[in-house]
Structure 1
């Protein structure tokens, strides 16, 4: 299997950094047909990796399971299904987007305020679902087992030149691993609320734009369509009505709260296990670099702090 080979390649330094042609050729052909890069993506392991145990039952953690898993027992289910359930709660706000744009067209501040209140509720529910991960997922098992499969070829010191897809390309390719930054739902709210991540560190903004190319094509087009729409933020600023500004700020603050919690989870599931591991062994420079990076290839704490900071900057001042 591809994933078994991938795991072997990562833990054995002398392993050949080439994806054999009998895997690479069909894998790349299928990926091209889907409009996705040939690497394990968030869309693969979260958005398309679930089933109901009882088909007539609810979309709940207890009534769901993953379609494919990695070593580590229930670690795969805990991480991927919790991520999916967070997506489901946040995505419930999407149905309000048409009414938001209609409110902007009609200059109906009451309708826009109601839509913003619905977004706040959905984001709060998403955070509550996110918080359940602590009771489901063991930090050390995630760090030492599952995280290995999610790392990519880009920004990985163990693969400084990338991975050669034999029979497809004459030179190694650089692809980022599966990352929550490949989720379209939170980029959707950034666009909708006028949170300009490009106002922050250029590398963070560039990374978010790059991660769009790892999303399903329909998701990319959806974000592009939102960017060409009317501005919620500009409308709120133009009205300067306390209740509307309050609803807007609470929507932005709900995003800040989610990103704060994401930072807490990264500390618990990446930094703390890495520190515990380093106390047992003398880590090499290469190992330290890998531990500091997220599965997308960035310095995960710097990236998340930057994104949180630009989200906080979107809060409007109230007279």
Structure 2
């Protein structure tokens, strides 16, 4: 474990076996977990039963009726040092899934409201986790996995989902490939910290070795990413999986006093909310032109777990690029630095490829789930990365 978090959000520390993934492993059933929470067991069992039934409720068209009837359960008592934060995150996940299920109920027009039984607890929980009240990458990916073999690794072939909209293999594979990528990124996150520390010491060999670790980690991320088509069909993703992770546009959160009935808009779940590439970009000292697209990426930081966005800010001070520039005569150092940039570039190109296959080829208006024309910004980021190799 590195980069320890101060306060209650220790589940979002960076761990050497899982990187940004939640620790301990996600809890599927709080009601039988033995975790001491200031909530009634009957209430936990009620919401967990609905969460488990979401695929059937969505398929049968009953989800809105069930969620409309959900009582307003008070989550404010969860605010305290004694409450395990990963349990709070599970509740945030459940209620954010409820909200997206209600708004984007299968085969029905999108709703412009979220009932109080979902909206009020969701907003309360959003204050506790310090993220917007909508499903984000942290709930969709970072906290949405369980090991099939408890003693096995965090690899896609040994994982299943803890929370679902559909329950089909395409949904599971799409999410769990991302979980695997996050676990493979752990060595890169440790590597950039080691490289930064070695740079402070003036240790050229230490920086070279640490950057070699980063490069190998990104290569393993790529190997996992390339498996996406194995069990996630692009048509199933586009027409069935993707609709549930769109953002909310002018949606009323009923019963939430602080909103006063004013419709709210929030960005949808998107891979741009993963902290891996932003952390690497920050550590390598890469600069990108200030555009509306970069503003979009900065907004995505608000949807990341707070400790992860703080880590990205911390890595901006890493000084790795300046150190490499000051030792530009050392070809081993500049070569491995450039190889790391090239690896990040290749990862972005693969993202570009899948965005094309899974979305762009199927729609005339290529808006990502996060709400931006992603093909333009992916292309621009690729060009700008290529321009920053050290000669």
Tell me if TM exceeds 0.5. yes
Aligned pair partner of 2:185 in 90, 96, 102:
90
Q: Does 1:224 align with 2:313?
A: yes
The one-character-per-residue Cα deviations of 1:108-136 (angstroms, maximum 9, x if unpaired) are 11110111111111001100100000112
Aligned-pair CA distance for 1:72:
6.0
Which residue number in structure 1 is paired with residue 209 of structure 2? Answer: 114
Aligned-pair CA distance for 1:225:
1.5
* Distance in 2 of aligned mates of 1:57 and 1:104: 36
Which residue number in structure 2 is paired with residue 271 of structure 1? Answer: 360
* Distance in 1 of aligned mates of 2:183 and 2:111: 40
Mapped contact 1:25–1:167 kept (Cα < 8 A): yes
Equivalent residue runs for 1:199-238 within 5 Å = 199=289, 202-227=291-316, 229-238=317-326
**Structure 2 stretches lacking a partner, 5+ long:** 1-66, 68-97
Which has a greater percent of helix? 1
Q: CA RMSD in A?
A: 1.6
Mapped contact 1:236–1:244 kept (Cα < 8 A): yes
Which residue number in structure 2 is paired with residue 191 of structure 1? Answer: 282
TM-score if structure 2 supplies the norm length? 0.71
Q: Does 1:140 align with 2:231?
A: no
Aligned pair partner of 1:47 in 133, 142, 145:
142
Equivalent residue runs for 1:21-100 within 5 Å = 21-71=116-166, 73-100=168-195
* Distance in 1 of aligned mates of 2:159 and 2:318: 38
Mapped contact 2:192–2:214 kept (Cα < 8 A): no
* Distance in 2 of aligned mates of 1:186 and 1:16: 34
Mapped contact 2:104–2:111 kept (Cα < 8 A): no
Aligned-pair CA distance for 1:11:
5.2
* Distance in 1 of aligned mates of 2:345 and 2:191: 21
SS at match of 1:194: coil
Which residue number in structure 2 is paired with residue 279 of structure 1? Answer: none
Give the ranges of 4+ consecutive aligned residues of structure 1 lying more than 3 Å apart after TM superposition. 10-13
SS at match of 1:257: helix
Aligned-pair CA distance for 1:58:
2.1
TM-score if structure 1 supplies the norm length? 0.87
Mapped contact 1:72–1:141 kept (Cα < 8 A): no
* Distance in 2 of aligned mates of 1:33 and 1:128: 36
The one-character-per-residue Cα deviations of 1:255-306 (angstroms, maximum 9, x if unpaired) are 00001111110111112233xxxxxxxxxxxxx44xx100100011012112
Aligned-pair CA distance for 1:4:
3.1
Compare relative contact order (CA 8 Å, sep 6+) and give the higher one, 1 or 2.
1
